[in-house]
Amino acid sequence: MDRDTVNCSSPYGKLSGNEAERSDFQKRVGGLIENVTEIAVLDGGFGVFEMKGVYGLAQCWKTVSKDGCRECLEKAGQEVRGCLPSREGRGLNAGCYLRYSTVKFYSDSEKMKENSGN
C-alpha cells in the first residue's frame, strides 16, 4: 500500500491572473522546491526557504539517510508541483514532508534568515 499523500486543497484557492503571472508563479514554486530540498538535504534533514512571496518547508525523518532524504523530497516535490496553480501544496511521503504556500506558515528563526532567497 502506498503511504504517500498529496494535499492540494487550500483555503487560499488558486492563483488567478493572466498566463504570464501563472507561469511566473510556477517558476517561483519550482525554484523554491529545489532550494528548500537542497537546504534540507545539506542541513540535517530540515529546511525553510522563501522566494518572492512563496514559502516552503522540507523535512526528512531523522532515520532517513542523506541520499534517502534527497530522493524522498525530490519525489514529494514532483508530486506537489501537480498542485499548481493552487496557492498551496503539501506532500507527505514515507520519510519526508514538503510544503509550499503563498501564506507564511512557519515562524521566523535565524535559520530562515540565513536561507532567505531575498
- Count Cβ atoms below 10 Å from residue 27 Cβ, excluding itself: 12
* CATH number, position 46: 3.30.430.20
Strand order in the sheet with 88-93: 5-7, 88-93, 96-101, 54-60, 46-51
CA distances, 96 to each of 17, 37, 101 (Å): 32, 10, 17
- How confident is the model over 35-83, as pLDDT tens digits? 999 999 999 999 999 999 999 999 999 999 999 999 999 999 999 999 9
Task: Using a pLDDT cut of 70, give the percent of the chain over it.
Answer: 90
Number of domains in the chain: 1
User: 62 lies in a domain?
Assistant: yes
Domain boundaries, position 67? 5-113
Q: What's the whole-number mean pLDDT along residues 103-110?
A: 82
pLDDT at position 17 is: 78
CA–CA gap between residue 96 and residue 50 (Å, rounded)? 19
How far from 19 is each of 24, 34, 52, 70, 77, CA to CA, in Å?
A: 9, 23, 18, 31, 22
Number of H helices, E strands in the chain: 3, 5
- Round to whole Å and give the CA distance between 66 and 45: 8
pLDDT at 113 over 50: no
Q: Is the peptide bond before 85 cis (omega within 30 degrees of 0)?
A: yes
What is the value of pTM for the model shown? 0.85
| 118 within some domain | no
- Note whether residue 56 is domain-resident: yes
